[in-house]
A and B are shown apart, each in its own frame.
Chain A
């Protein structure tokens, strides 16, 4: 007993330290989650004030397998709360878990990687201190999210019991994924590896659930994201998902603790094998370096995009069957064919993977610069301009490749399940149509990065905004100018709309201008370290 308590020594101090150094991230996470849910609730409350409208919603979108695949199962869809939960579903099921994993890694592995954990654990801090402090930060954050979400949804006028259950469910969902993040923080030796593993886990959980819900299989237990909807806060609430989340979280945290007391500080649990004695000649070029340092992330995003495309390709069949049974659905959804509904939503996700590739690839230069490695490379014969452009070219090309690979997977699988080659050509047209907006985001990321490392975060906000406009523009009744901030929206909602060629050309020109500007800024300013 005293052994455990000595290993936990210093936890409270570390918890306060973590809050002080990471308060912005903690506050941002809390406000983002509670704010998103409340905003959707407010909007739904004004959009669907009368029962008949809600019943129509339940009969169309609520029944559509594609919507269920994206949003998760809907319960109590004739109530404001039910529709709110359903609409939050898609974005929420990706965003909330990813934020939770990020929060956990930010407060454990990243501190350790930076060498700060080594400093503090040399004082009177026990071996479990850093992990326990990370857990406290997670608990603090999810509790605050629960309370604020409850306050927000209740103030919109949702029934208290439903609002309560929904808030508890959201907090439990995030606690579960944060616990997973704590385990990843113990296993992975670098935070980046942890993030990628977390992304893989969230993608897998989402796709498994999407497949099950889209196909109507009776297997909601198979994915933690399936449990989330099964709280049924605005239908008939169930307790078992809460128990499932809490028990799994406890098991995960215990696992993380078991690893933490056994492993070496600074290490993961996998030993790094020896590697090549020499570097390839390409390593000494701007593009070679960019590829080498970004390739793991690029591969991870490619696999994500391909999986998304593939799984939603399978779901086109469900949608086609629905349309065959009831052609009026087409009109209600404003599309020509069932597979278009799936394509238009799946492609948003694929574009997110592509833009994330771009923003992450440019963001990689932050640690390169702050560690002084960029300075060391630039102390050689290569000019800033060449390094910058070479790096960007690899990042931009990979982003487009991720985009096209995802759309190709979507197109090929829909072609296979529908036996319609048109499905493939539509998917590829959409893929090419959004290629320029993706490149534009890459250029924007380059510009933000060239201004300074603090600005890079705006690139992620842009990706987040693209997601928000893609999934929730109608729900949140966003004004046109706000939608226009998303470059995807500017070229039109594909494949329903015609591609806006003028917008594509302007975006290409603007992207080129941003890139030129970023080169100018980069070659003019001081390097942060070196």
Chain B
């Protein structure tokens, strides 16, 4: 499932970063393959921004192996930075400069800004580049940072909650732009709390908690690791449900037309469970996979997901 090492643009294994006694990263793994949009998720304070800043060489790791483009983030930071563009989580602009100046400032330092693309993005994001940064609204400040990063001709985009504060219209512009970039073969590492955005854009996701990776894989794979609810009304009690491995929470309730059944099944137990229910001639049958929210809530909660993750964290490729 996971691509081989050589195709991973970002390769991080067992990252540890401590601030005094506090372990912000505690053995975190992250692998971003070339050409994918990789979602990076986790509760507040779980270490997403810290990971990203370490990958950018802003923080020095205490332990662990990290490389970006096969280079060392701290030693080769400048070489790495020439091939990526970054949108920080907390966008702060130079108060006295206009938005247009801020964009060109960053573009000048980056060195690979495509000025035609810059103008096009300014247009698409409906940004007024003549306003002073201190006069921008939060969303507009975010747009400045986005335009500055997305108009660079680079292989990798590292975006830390890039759409916080954007309105739904702009959110959809953002998704279109990212999809276009991805079609051109560019790689994106996207940290986000907006699940719809993650679902629309991401090929694979990594979920972390308290500085540790709890799961990583495609959304389907993550879903396959969670529980599906089955509800049905059947003429008679289905036989053999109790015996199926992975079926839990089985409930029967008498009903004028027969029996009402409710059960929870793992991905693996689904075919058998549904077959058993179907055999009992249901008059209605509802199979409900967990919503994205439920999926993430399970992974975010400190007690851990009720079922195994798609892939055990920390596994070698």
List A residues at the B interface (Cβ < 8 Å): 189-190, 272, 274-285, 288-289, 292-293, 371-373, 375-384, 524-527, 529-530
Contact = CB atoms under 8 A, between A and B. Distances in A.
B109 A381 contact: yes
B108 A284 contact: yes
B101 A278 contact: yes
A285 B109 CA distance: 6
Given A190-B95, A375-B53, A380 B90 contact: no
A375 B92 CA distance: 10
A382 B108 CA distance: 10
A390 to B, nearest CB: 11
A272 B134 contact: yes
Interface stretch (B81-89, B234-242, B262-270, B303-311): B81-89
Nearest to B60: A526
Contacts of A526: 58-60
12 contacts: A274-B131, A274-B132, A278-B104, A279-B102, A279-B108, A283-B101, A289-B109, A372-B88, A373-B94, A526-B59, A530-B53, A530-B88
Given A190-B134, A279-B105, A375-B56, 11 more contacts: A277-B130, A278-B101, A279-B100, A285-B109, A293-B96, A372-B90, A376-B92, A380-B111, A381-B78, A526-B59, A530-B88
B110 A380 contact: yes
Interface string B98-126: 10111111111111100000000000000
A379 B84 CA distance: 8
Contacts of A379: 56, 58, 81, 84-86, 88, 158
Contact of A275 (B59, B92, B132): B132
B279 interface: no
B155 to A, nearest CB: 13
B53 A292 contact: no
B49 to A, nearest CB: 9
Contacts of B313: none
Closest 8 CB pairs between A and B? A284-B108, A279-B104, A279-B101, A371-B92, A275-B98, A380-B109, A379-B86, A274-B130
A275 B78 contact: no
A527 B109 contact: no
Query: Looking at chain A's contact residues, is the secondary structure mostly helix, strand, loop, or mixed?
Result: loop
Given A274-B131, A278-B129, A375 B58 contact: yes
B120 to A, nearest CB: 14
Contact of A376 (B86, B111, B131): B86
B275 interface: no
Nearest to B55: A379
B166 interface: no
Interface in B125-152: 129-132, 134-135, 145
A277 B129 contact: yes
A278 B105 CA distance: 9
Interface residues of B, number: 43
Given A281-B108, A378-B58, A380-B81, A276 B130 contact: yes
Contacts, number: 129
Contacts of B84: 379
A381 B110 contact: yes
B179 interface: no
B164 interface: no
A529 B101 contact: no
A380 B97 contact: no
A267 to B, nearest CB: 9
A372 B132 contact: no
Nearest to B57: A378
B224 interface: no
A372 to B, nearest CB: 5
Query: Looking at chain B's contact residues, is the secondary structure mostly helix, strand, loop, or mixed?
Result: mixed
B98 A276 contact: yes
A373 B131 CA distance: 18
Contacts of A281: 104, 108
Contact of B94 (A280, A293, A527): A293
Given A277-B130, A381-B110, A527 B100 contact: no
Given A190-B95, A272-B134, A376 B100 contact: no
Nearest to B100: A277
A383 B77 contact: yes
B274 interface: no
B93 interface: yes
A277 B98 CA distance: 7
B129 A527 contact: no
Contacts of A372: 88, 90-92
A526 B19 CA distance: 11
Nearest to A368: B94
Contacts of A525: 60
Contacts of B131: 274-275
Most chain B beta-carbon neighbours within 10 Å: one of A293, A376, A380: A380
A377 B109 contact: yes
Contacts of B78: 381-383
Nearest to A527: B58
Given A375-B88, A379-B56, A279 B97 contact: yes
Interface string B32-72: 00000000000000000000010010111000000000000
B107 to A, nearest CB: 6
Contacts of A285: 108-109
A283 B105 CA distance: 5
A283 B93 CA distance: 14
A133 B145 CA distance: 37
A275 B97 contact: yes
A381 B82 contact: yes
Contacts of A272: 132, 134-135
Contacts of B112: 381
A371 B145 CA distance: 14
A284 B108 CA distance: 4
Contacts of A274: 98, 130-132
A377 B86 CA distance: 9
Contacts of B56: 375, 378-379, 530
Contacts of B103: 279
A190 B135 CA distance: 13
A272 B130 CA distance: 11
Contacts of B91: 372, 376
A293 B97 CA distance: 9
Contacts of A277: 98, 100, 129-130
B9 to A, nearest CB: 16
Interface string B205-244: 0000000000000000000000000000000000000000
A529 B90 contact: yes
Contacts of B96: 293
Contacts of B105: 279, 283-284, 289, 377
Nearest to B102: A279
A376 B100 CA distance: 16
A437 B102 CA distance: 35
